[in-house]
Structure 1
Amino acid sequence: MNRPLSKIIPRCKQNIHPWQIRLSHWINLLAMICMIMSGWGIYNAYPLFPFTFPQSTTLGGWLGGNIAWHLATMWLMAVNALFYLLWGLFSGHFKRSFFPFSSKSVWRDTVRAFTFTLPHKLGEYNAVQRLMYVSVLLLGALLVLSGLSIWKPVQLSGLVWLLGGFGSARYVHFFAMSGVMLFVVIHVLMVLLVPKTFIAMITGGKKAHIQESTDE
């Protein structure tokens, strides 16, 4: 007597990180390093606080060179960000990976992280990671707006006004950059704690995809 096969469960492998994410991630890393180092050189010419960055950590050699590097890299980062944002929106990546989260879930996963009981699955973000990724995207938007107002204060006088004036725009730009750098530091620490995430961002990684179907 033959028993009917009620379910077929094929298994296949798919990338944890699609090539679009990996490409934009590594381009963004290169652009961010150049933007930060050249930005520090610009900051040193007109410090906001009673400290400057070591010359060895700047890019460009002098103020004109710092500005040239900053503007050139700005276009690379802008094109890369536009590609990532459009792909993230239309592919459903943002909705699928970054939402939903709540203050309750963020607090829960924060406690788990500090007690080393937070589970980690490649390709799946916990509530803290989701909050951080959404926050860094917002900080990136603030960096762009404040940067444009500093670059073109006359042409974009309305934007400068919204940011509280040219001087305030510089502070906004500095603190937004500091927020992004804090994200990078935490991100690197997480990679050191879970090294397999670094390999997955290079190779794409593989995960099993299970699909169930019935056979009548």
Structure 2
Amino acid sequence: MATPHAVRDRATPAAPNTGVVHPLWVRITHWLNALAAIVMMLSGWRIYDASPIFPAFRFAPSITLGGWLGGALQWHFAAMWLLVFNGLVYLALNLASGRFVRKFLPVSPRAVLRDFIAALTGKLSHADLRVYNAVQKFAYLFVICDLIVLVLSGLAIWKSVQFPLLRELMGGYDNARVVHFAAMSLLAAFLAVHVAMVALVPRSLLAMLRGR
């Protein structure tokens, strides 16, 4: 009779992790969403400067897009349609393929806190990029919700008369502008943290470029 040691010796060694991390459709929609969000944010800063919510705060023209109010509006609306349609495709494919549940759920406050502490102490593993930790799950779910709020508050500002219910849900036109600004600020914070994390784990960028 073979001993347990002999059975372990004859066992097939574990194959290296060579599976696909991100399928092609995820990579395409990710980069299109990123492009649209950045264009909307930079052009939105120029639009904000034309009528600031907080008069004491303005964005430097050098970090805005559009050159003037009319140009910024054209960039903003063009990127808006890209974000809306590409975002709908991203969500639809994630839900239809079951990827949304596999990648982002379940997530709990306790798990997020645990992984957040592990990240701060340098103990959070990134060995398998196909598996999201709780902090990543929370961050991606958060930014999806934030982008939805951005689009809805933007509609309440752009088509305030045509969407009175949406405008009132935002607390009126002026409050809709505040909601839109707050959602934009949270998106900017997410992008800053996201880029920092990519710098710490550059393999994640390669995976989003080539899929592995």
TM beyond 0.5:
yes
- Mapping of residues 106-121 of structure 1, within 5 Å: 106-120=112-126, 121=128
When the two chains are superposed, the root-mean-square deviation of aligned CA atoms in Å is 1.7
Structure 1 or 2: more strand by fraction? 1
Structure 1 or 2: more helix by fraction? 2
Distance across 1 between alignment mates of 2:38 and 2:138:
23
Higher relative contact order (CA closer than 8 Å, sequence separation 6+)? 1
1:31 corresponding residue in structure 2: 36
- 1:14 CA displacement: 3.3
Can you give the 5+ residue segments of structure 2 that lack an aligned partner in the other structure?
A: 1-10
Residue aligned with 2:67, SS? coil
Alignment-mate amino acid for residue 98 of structure 1: F
Deviation per CA, 1:89-143: give whole Å up to 9, x if none. 1011110000001111111111111111111121211011111111111111111
1:76 aligns with 2:82: yes
- 1:13 CA displacement: 4.7
2:52 corresponding residue in structure 1: 47
Alignment-mate amino acid for residue 96 of structure 1: R
Alignment-mate amino acid for residue 78 of structure 2: A
Alignment-mate amino acid for residue 17 of structure 1: H
Identity of aligned residues (%): 48
Alignment-mate amino acid for residue 71 of structure 2: G
Deviation per CA, 1:171-214: give whole Å up to 9, x if none. 00000111111111111111000111111111100xxxxxxxxx
- 1:79 CA displacement: 1.4
- Mapping of residues 167-206 of structure 1, within 5 Å: 167-205=174-212
Residue aligned with 1:48, SS? coil
- 1:40 CA displacement: 0.4
1:95 corresponding residue in structure 2: 101
Distance across 1 between alignment mates of 2:139 and 2:210:
24
Moved over 6 A (4+): 7-12
1:18 corresponding residue in structure 2: 23
Please, what TM-score do these two structures have when normalized by structure 2?
0.89
Distance across 2 between alignment mates of 1:41 and 1:109:
37
